[in-house]
Structure 1
Amino acid sequence: MMQRLMNQGLYAITDNHLLPDDRTLLGACETALEAGIVLLQYRDKSSDADRRWRQGDALAALCQRHAVPLIVNDDLELALRLQQRWGAIIGLHVGQDDVSLATARHRLGEGAIIGATCHDALALANAAADAGASYLAFGRFFASRTKPGAPPASLTILDAAAPLGLPRVAIGGIDATTAGRARAAGAEMLAVVHAIFGMPDIARAVRELNVIVADASHSNSAIDGTSVIDPC
């Protein structure tokens, strides 16, 4: 069965530094789900496979309860294992140095949500679309606390990728001060780490960002090159 991907919304990404243990992770994610995120990505770059399975399984249960897809970052084997248990609610996000999107699509099936990192390159976006991507992620657009060394991107890439007909995700420094610019530039979804999970009131942060997501004309800032604003 094809898992439905929302046309627009807030895409929350976990961080094991901000959410260092099971209790903190699950509590924060449940709050974000209740507040209205439309996608949740589980990202844990540690070598602890047992922890990744335990946390991924618990997050899948939460996501199923809220009818929100759980996207596994850069771990096809974990995604496959979770998919066997939880079905179509499980997806995968792949970067340029991860397993190929074509391989992921073949193993997870046509119905799975699979997203691809495209940085600032239309050629990468075209290749991802041809390989069966469900969405295209671009960025970083603004200064980022989570990945300060990530290559910068221009907001104009979002408009350039529009003809591909896939949801465009803006990532990198997205917070309440920058989200409007990303939406106005064409991003259907906003991927957020610190401006959700690093905030003292997660529910309020999600609600405030969702107001911006719902109003694509929120920002009157010009869409120009890479921006460097307060990091998120």
Structure 2
Amino acid sequence: MTPSRPLAGPPPRGLYLITPDDAGTASLLARVEPLLSSGAVTWLQYRNKTAGDALRHEQALALQARCAAAGVPLIINDDVRLARAVGAAGVHLGEDDGDIAAARALLGPAAILGASCYDEQALAQRAVAAGASYVAFGAFFPTRSKDTHRRASPALLADAQALGVARVAIGGITPDNTPALVAAGADLVAVIAGVFEAPDPLAAARAYQAAFA
């Protein structure tokens, strides 16, 4: 039997915003809150590769409160126990960050569980069989946020439709190249720099979201 997955009905669509590394909780919240309240963010992922455990807990807890107020699910990058501790909606796991089935057992049937599948449909199939709620492919374009030696093709998005879960595109995505990925089958686009390094982050977020209209 396939493990239970949430997201019954049509998958969510739009901007899957990922936080930048920011050592200050107040400054991080100041950057994120206007975006959450704008209605332009479908999901928010907390990701901070430079913070220690205490700061990550502090920031995740603060973001969870803001996300709850805005009605935006908060997903934690790479840390199942932190997701559980702060009451986040779910967790995103990379290839070496833990087991989807174990995360499902710990977080329960309602959790949103995502898996990085890079450029491999087989990884996506295994993740869904283990209980993933969504699969993420990428990088589609060059990006500074992670190693991009594994490059994804838009055909992966179309092929993954049969898996029956949300499909996320990640890696170097801009408002200009988002429509082609949406046409290929992306339900969400995951973005860090395209919003947070934009001259007007709010306008950028709305531009991404508009590609799904």
Deviation per CA, 1:12-62, whole angstroms, max 9, x where unpaired?
00120xx34212211111122122201000011235111001100000000
The one-letter code matched in structure 2 to 1:146 is S
Among 15, 34, 51, which residue is 2:55 paired with? 51
Residues 1:127 and 2:145 are matched in the alignment: no
Q: 1:25 to 1:150 in 2, by over 3 A?
A: farther
Deviation per CA, 1:141-182, whole angstroms, max 9, x where unpaired?
011121243511111110111111111000001111211111
Partner of 1:181: 180
What is the CA-CA distance between 1:3 and the residue it aligns to?
A: 6.7
8 A Cα contact 1:93 1:116, kept in partner: yes
Among 35, 39, 49, which residue is 1:32 paired with? 35
Partner of 1:222: none
Residues 1:14 and 2:19 are matched in the alignment: yes
TM-score scaled to structure 1, two decimals? 0.84
What is the CA-CA distance between 1:195 and the residue it aligns to?
A: 0.5
8 A Cα contact 1:33 1:66, kept in partner: yes
Q: CA-atom RMSD, angstroms? A: 1.6
Instruction: Specify every segment of 5 or more residues in structure 1 that has no aligned partner in the other structure, as ranges.
Output: 84-88, 215-232
Deviation per CA, 1:183-223, whole angstroms, max 9, x where unpaired?
11110111111011111211111111111122xxxxxxxxx
Partner of 1:72: 76
Partner of 1:208: 207
Partner of 2:191: 192
Partner of 2:148: 149
TM-score scaled to structure 2, two decimals? 0.91
Partner of 1:223: none
What is the CA-CA distance between 1:119 and the residue it aligns to?
A: 0.7
- 2:211 is paired with a residue whose SS is helix
Partner of 1:229: none
User: Stretches of 4+ moved more than 3 A in 1?
Assistant: 2-6
Q: Distance in 2 between matches of 1:39 and 1:150?
A: 26
Comparing 58-67 with 25-34, which one deviates more in the overlay? 25-34
Instruction: Specify every segment of 5 or more residues in structure 2 that has no aligned partner in the other structure, as ranges.
Output: none
- 1:71 is paired with a residue whose SS is strand
8 A Cα contact 1:31 1:202, kept in partner: no
- 1:140 is paired with a residue whose SS is coil
Partner of 1:116: 115
- 1:11 is paired with a residue whose SS is strand
Deviation per CA, 1:67-108, whole angstroms, max 9, x where unpaired?
11100000111111112xxxxx52100011011101101100
- 1:161 is paired with a residue whose SS is helix
Count of aligned positions: 206
8 A Cα contact 2:15 2:43, kept in partner: yes
The one-letter code matched in structure 2 to 1:21 is G
Q: Distance in 2 between matches of 1:33 and 1:22?
A: 16
Partner of 1:82: 86
Partner of 1:220: none
The one-letter code matched in structure 1 to 2:169 is A
8 A Cα contact 2:104 2:131, kept in partner: yes
8 A Cα contact 2:139 2:148, kept in partner: no
